[in-house]
Structure 1
Amino acid sequence: MTTTTAKAAVLSVKQQDSILDSTRRLNIWEGSIRSGKTIASILRWLLYVRTAPLGPLAIIGKTKDTVARNVLDVIADIAPGAISYSRGAPTCRILGRLVHVIGANDAKAEKVLRGLTLAGVYVDEITVLPEAFFTQLLGRLSVPGAKLFGTTNPDGPSHWFRKKYLLRAAELDFVSFHFVLADNPSLTDEYKRQVSSEFTGLWFKRYIQGLWVAAEGAIYDMLDERKHCAKAPPKDLWRAAWITVDFGTSNPTHAGLLVLTDQQVEGDRIVAPDRLHMVAEWEHDGRAKGQLTTAQQSARLRDWADPLLADTGLTPVTVLDPSAAPLRAQMRADGWPGLRGADNRVDVGLQATASLFAGGRLAVDNEACPVLWDQLCGYVWDDTALERGEEKPVKENDHGPDMTRYGVMAARQVWRAWLPELAASAA
């Protein structure tokens, strides 16, 4: 933990109590980010490893990389001599015990799990694991006296883990400990305010307040024309550029030019920080204006983009959505530089975009991008999907928000320094 964010590294009473009281078969720390739940749970896991019954132990997360980042690296920071691990390896040694390292997204993970009879397991980010995998994991935890220790951030109120485990704690050999950001004594008040400002709406309620709440209403409920709209800054302030495209044939194709800009200063006052700025858009609706071939779309996109980037010296990265294979092939044939498939992780992309807006690090020139701005303001959660326990945006007038999300995710190397709490999940 860095000295810029940390006070004295002490455990709170709540952390100490959770360590002492986590004696059940299933022991869960849940709540907001940076709330101290991970440190408490890992310290309890280390105590368990010392005394665990004979048999295999395991640490499980979404991927081996997330396990290394969220758990193994933390153990190495807490007690460097307690762990021996090579990144990417299938096992490590903790306090002399062999521990399997398993990523639930790995195609081989289920086969590995089926071959184990576990004496103990630590599970990172439980809600991102498939329910079937977690159910099978409990069946593997069959050595007498075996225990599970795990952490999770809140999800929706209908999430399988909440319904089948958290709400049934009285019926199960199960205990949970709820933490919020304010519970962490090792963070300064300034840092807590900073982290809180990075989240808004749904994500603020879950990741800062630690609530299991449903998505509802506007996705970008923080949007304010006075705060988030601005004319494109002069081109001499542009430092990088992304052309981002949501492709359609009969549906609209919607493209945007996203640029990284230096901070803007007037006199001795900073009027805008360095940020990402959507400075132009191009849209063609095949239903309203007639369909274009991919060759025509590629040519028109070039006619739109080249003048915008003239005299900037920038070579843009061009990001296309996963359905754009025909356009991608055409653009490659036409010599477009820097073609890249979009990262289409909707949950991470929505959260990153919302956090950038909330932190003043993403702006839109609404005069140059009127269609995009209208669509962003009208972008809402799908109530029908929510009834099924799914969180999805309404698939209507969403091409602008989609292409914005693609651009934001393509620029994550830029904003991960602005939003360190999101950097890991967006990696």
Structure 2
Amino acid sequence: MVRRIKPQPIFKFAPFSKKQLQVLTWWRYPGTMNHKMLICDGSVRAGKTVTMSLSYVIWSMTNYSGQNFGMAGKTIGSFRRNVLSPLKRMLAGRHYQVLDHRTDNMIEIRKGGVTNFYYIFGGRDESSQDLVQGITTAGFFFDEVALQPESFVNQATARVSVDGGKYWFNCNPEGPYHWFKLNWLDDKSKDSLIIHFTMDDNPSLSDQIKRDLRSLYTGVFYRRYIEGLWVLAEGVVYSNWNQDTMTEHITDVHDYEDYYVSCDYGIQNPTVFLMFGQKGTTWHCLKMFYHSGRESQVEHDDAWYADRMDEFIGDIKTDIIIDPSASSFRRTLQNRGYSVRKANNDVVPGIRATQTAMNSGRLMFADNLKQMFAEFGSYIWDAKAAERGEDKVVKQHDHCMDALRYFVYMVIYKNVTAKMVQKPSWLRG
């Protein structure tokens, strides 16, 4: 299916910063034009993606006609949302004609007798490398390359085999032993132009927006996404936890606008139910159920835990979000008439979303959640995994943390993301 892009409002630019101008023009000037690749890393909302994607298209349309080019994000959906949507508006303002071949995941761009073809890929996992085999390209643009597997990036860059072809990378930092940092950023043998960004390099951000963004992150995510540093995930995961300011005394769980129950399920390991109620933009963790088969030396079956769920929910109408591995317990609950959703178990993005919800006041806790408060102090990053370039948590004292993360990622984060897709805001990216 070929779809002509509908006219959209013209993209309004703020004045460019020096670094943004360098991204837009590096391929035109003798001092930088011979570099094989451009790498832009640094903080969120620094204007990397907007300027890089526009520069990539202008470069390719200036130097080639009738060629194939690659463009990749972690998923095709995220790339279309975060890159192509603003790119189309920018190109429309410069009188480019854009045809979207959605079936082929290809964008055809025309202007002044020049036509090129831009194939879109998702670098989700190791199998993604198979998607790029066989294509010959004159350039490849990677958005959020640090979130893509090394095998995919290696296969995609190997497809750039047209004279003068270049690679374009952007990303927010991860750990200092991440494969992209070691094998691309730190490899001096690669012919790279590296430009490091902070939020101050984006003139479109007001001081208030920058203050708001800084307030959303703490710990390792602050150092990476605000300071733009490649640092280890170490120590306590929720270093932002403050029992004095994030708890409240709750006497009645019935006075809320909407409800969810989140569940992490175990037989010997603890089973945790958390009930959340919404008032305005804030979700309140109202109460919890906690039972450890190992500690009590009594193991129970699905039916026993379903009985406890009946007692826990009582007369409140709510959906249940459950550990995706708990298939038999999920069926037991469904057979009792509950609406049950499998949680997204993407750990690090879920942790980041939970930390942001806590920092922004979108999440509060009843003051009597004893086991949860203990886990906040003992839930830590895995130091050995960090040395391998991986962000992982130690799988101990984490059952309340998992149930909390399931809820935030499936409800608070998804709702905020949906609103941003409808009406883009400074929170995106």
- Say yes or no: does 1:256 pair with 2:274: yes
Contact 2:177 2:387 in 1 (8 A): no
Q: Which residue of 2 aligns with 1:268?
A: none
Matched-pair identity in %: 30
The Cα RMSD (Å) is 2.3
Contact 2:179 2:389 in 1 (8 A): no
Q: Which residue of 2 aligns with 1:396?
A: 396
Q: Which residue of 1 aligns with 2:182?
A: 163
Q: Which residue of 2 aligns with 1:223?
A: 241
CA–CA separation in structure 2 for the residues paired with 1:276 and 1:72: 33
Q: Which residue of 1 aligns with 2:309?
A: 301
- Say yes or no: does 1:241 pair with 2:259: yes
Q: Which residue of 1 aligns with 2:365?
A: 364
Structure 1 residue 358: Cα displacement: 1.1
Pair 298,124 (structure 1): closer, same or farther in 2 beyond 3 Å: same
Structure 1 residue 417: Cα displacement: 7.7
- Say yes or no: does 1:92 pair with 2:107: yes
Q: Which residue of 1 aligns with 2:16?
A: 11
CA–CA separation in structure 1 for the residues paired with 2:232 and 2:192: 24
Name which of 72, 91, 95 aligns with 2:84. Answer: 72
Contact 1:231 1:279 in 2 (8 A): no
Structure 1 residues 127-177: Cα deviation after superposition (integer angstroms, max 9, x where no partner): 111101111112111111111112111110000000011011x31121111
Q: Which residue of 1 aligns with 2:345?
A: 344
CA–CA separation in structure 1 for the residues paired with 2:26 and 2:340: 53
Name which of 216, 227, 230 aligns with 1:209. Answer: 227
- Say yes or no: does 1:149 pair with 2:168: yes
- Matches for 1:281-296 after TM superposition, within 5 Å: 281-289=288-296, 290-296=298-304
Structure 1 residue 316: Cα displacement: 0.9
Structure 1 residue 346: Cα displacement: 0.4
Which stretch has the larger CA shift, 126-135 or 74-83?
74-83
TM-score, scaled relative to structure 2: 0.87
Structure 1 residues 393-420: Cα deviation after superposition (integer angstroms, max 9, x where no partner): 1111110000000111221344448998
Structure 1 residue 233: Cα displacement: 7.1
CA–CA separation in structure 1 for the residues paired with 2:141 and 2:252: 52
Structure 1 residues 17-63: Cα deviation after superposition (integer angstroms, max 9, x where no partner): 23333532111111111101112212321221212345311211111
Pair 147,40 (structure 1): closer, same or farther in 2 beyond 3 Å: same
Q: Which residue of 2 aligns with 1:180?
A: 198
Which stretch has the larger CA shift, 253-262 or 338-347?
253-262
Structure 1 residue 106: Cα displacement: 7.9
CA–CA separation in structure 1 for the residues paired with 2:220 and 2:425: 16
Contact 1:52 1:146 in 2 (8 A): no
Aligned residues: 400
Contact 2:129 2:153 in 1 (8 A): no
Pair 18,115 (structure 1): closer, same or farther in 2 beyond 3 Å: same
Pair 43,416 (structure 1): closer, same or farther in 2 beyond 3 Å: closer
Pair 306,283 (structure 1): closer, same or farther in 2 beyond 3 Å: same
CA–CA separation in structure 1 for the residues paired with 2:139 and 2:153: 14
Structure 1 residues 101-128: Cα deviation after superposition (integer angstroms, max 9, x where no partner): 1122389853441111111121111111
One-letter amino acid of the counterpart of residue 355, structure 1: T
CA–CA separation in structure 2 for the residues paired with 1:323 and 1:222: 29
Name which of 137, 142, 146 aligns with 1:127. Answer: 146
Pair 406,132 (structure 1): closer, same or farther in 2 beyond 3 Å: same
Q: Which residue of 2 aligns with 1:3?
A: none
Pair 417,104 (structure 1): closer, same or farther in 2 beyond 3 Å: closer
One-letter amino acid of the counterpart of residue 318, structure 2: P
SS of corresponding position for 2:233: coil
One-letter amino acid of the counterpart of residue 327, structure 2: A
- Structure 2: segments with no counterpart, 5+ residues: 1-10, 28-32
